[in-house]
Structure 1
Amino acid sequence: MFIILKQTGYSHRSNFLFTAVLAFFMVLSSSLARAAVEDAIDRPAEVSRLGPYSVLLSAARAGESIIAVGERGFILLSDDNAKTWKQLPSPVSSTLTGVAFSNEKVGYAIGHGGTVLGTKDGGKNWALLVNGLTLVEALLTDALLKKDEEAAETARFLLDDGPDKPFLDLLLLSSEHIVVVGAYGLAFESKDAGKTWHSWMSRIDNPFGLHLYSIRKQGNRVLIAGEQGFVALSNDNGDSFETIETPYEGSFFTAQLPDANQIVLAGLRGNTLVSEDNGANWKQLINPIPATITASLIDSDGQLLFANQAGLLLRLKNSTLIPVNQKPLPPLTSILEKSDGDVLALSINGAMSLDSGSSK
């Protein structure tokens, strides 16, 4: 595989257990930990009956099927609307953090170790497209050829620190056009289904390498949200980004673009912000549950739903987040609207289906 990178500068969920797991994988730097990560990205996932009850971090619909991914490289498939699950072969045993499909056949998954996986048969079979080590080595080679010492210094730092940096979210612009973002400001795209990769980092003013947790697109706008209140907005399909100031300096773990001018951010301690004018002004939404919001979605009715570490599904009504389930679940990590309108909630203890709380 030949990987092309364009780089001119380096511009960077759930109770204690979940937070600790995420933080652990983000900051590993010892030689022992690096060896473990390298082993995990080279070793296929083990078959386990515990897969459906493990930490699951993302799910996507692939036609009539649902694919969920999580710790240990687990990839699960359900053909009965999440009533039962079957583990699928995975080429890695490192944690997978995200999955998305562009159609019923073509999909991609991302995870720790800078891994990107691809499938062309609805998720039944997956191939490793790239990992962090390959990406960073190519970044260094490209920088040296261009005699870009700043980019080379960044690449050397990432290479010395190990290939453990996780990708945390992905955006599919087509069946072959993928954008991935992650820890330490990592941001890359591929326009040929993962064969070659280009860096987005020089487009994003992120000098401290803050973690990038969420990427969304609506029309020509691309929004990236992350650590310490970092928000960047593009109005030209990701060609350039403007840093957006918000009144909150805590991390945003999820974001949405409900309409042409609206931005919704949510994250640490339940803080949820909305802007009706592309980030010029912000309003704090009322959230009676001060637990970190880990995920969000816009349902088929155009309504906003959120999930938090307190195990609650929340629906936005009249500027207030209202709990949908009265009995808390295990800490939630991700949510997906199912074909029947209910919500698939992923947690540190696997997947479960919830009534969406819709008034229809």
Structure 2
Amino acid sequence: MLETSSTAAIGLHGLVKSYRDTPVIPGLDAELRGGEFTVILGPSGCGKSTLLNCIAGLERLSAGRITIGGREVQEEEPKNRRLAMVFQNYALYPHMTVAENIGYALKVAGVKKPERAARVAEAARIVELGDYLNRRPGQLSGGQRQRVAIARAVVREPQVLLYDEPLSNLDAKLRHDMRVELAGLHRRIGATSVFVTHDQVEAMTLADRIMVLNKGKIEQFDTPEAIYHRPASTFVAGFIGSPAMNLIDVTGEGGMLRFANGTALAAHPHQGPAILGIRPEQVVPSPEGVPAQVTYAEDLGAYAVLTLRLPDGTALRMTTALGARNALSGDLRVSLNAEALHLFDPLTGMALSGSDTHSRTKKVQHDHLPS
């Protein structure tokens, strides 16, 4: 049975990557645990593919160290790092069969034909391509071609598997199906996996931990659950979630969070200015809540996203369950789930300590809100 070599943690120590005088990664430290599925997530231009290429050895570091399994590798060639990479564009040889594509690296490495055939067959079985070994890439669908690329990486029995946005060329259904297959593959072979994407759905569904990058710096590196429910900054709060978290400028005064015009929004002990974060699903209709006007509605089938205008002109998004949209139109009142409030520093954008914990948040006292 084909298995990867023993898994290896990846250490990033003071990693710097610059192009001429422009730093893309100004200095990064992180430990990617052995056998874990890590997703590097961020917007275009944040440095995530550059970071992956540095781990792979396709980019030379400007400064710092990389360790794989405790061994420094920043000066090693990619072929000596015991890793394999799956690219966005498949990079298959069109004149070769599926079997020849999968086994090409083994052939170059001098692996004997009987062993090569056995390992190719097992890799194809793992990605469910056993019936397609004699076909050429032009006879395959996009999803099947991507599975050939994955099998070509797996057959090398690497310690580390690197994925550079491998699903971005697929349609929505194929992306979903491939996510399921990748999750199953990771469970079966257990290699340390690093997956780059700008798609938060891929990150949330695949990752053991997510590294959120912003301008080459780590905003948060934690489990999907922690990143969604306890974002470390306004950047993470605004990037994770669809629709994104509402972020509102408020001032804490007299046990209440208030708009600039003094209107009370929610009960909270914080004093002074802050940015209030609340997920759209935590905004709920309430007869005793803050007045709001529905200005736009997006019907997404299972739920709708309503854009509201609050008394001070602030826009607030809320989601509604299936069938509830028609009852929520024109003017209404809404309250915020007090157990789900987040507060961020208005200068740094970082989460204020304890702002999203139950211990610091009281139930909203509706009689304190405007009538």
Q: Normalized per residue, which structure has more helix?
A: 2
TM-score by length of 1: 0.26
* Higher gyration radius (CA): 2
TM-score by length of 2: 0.26
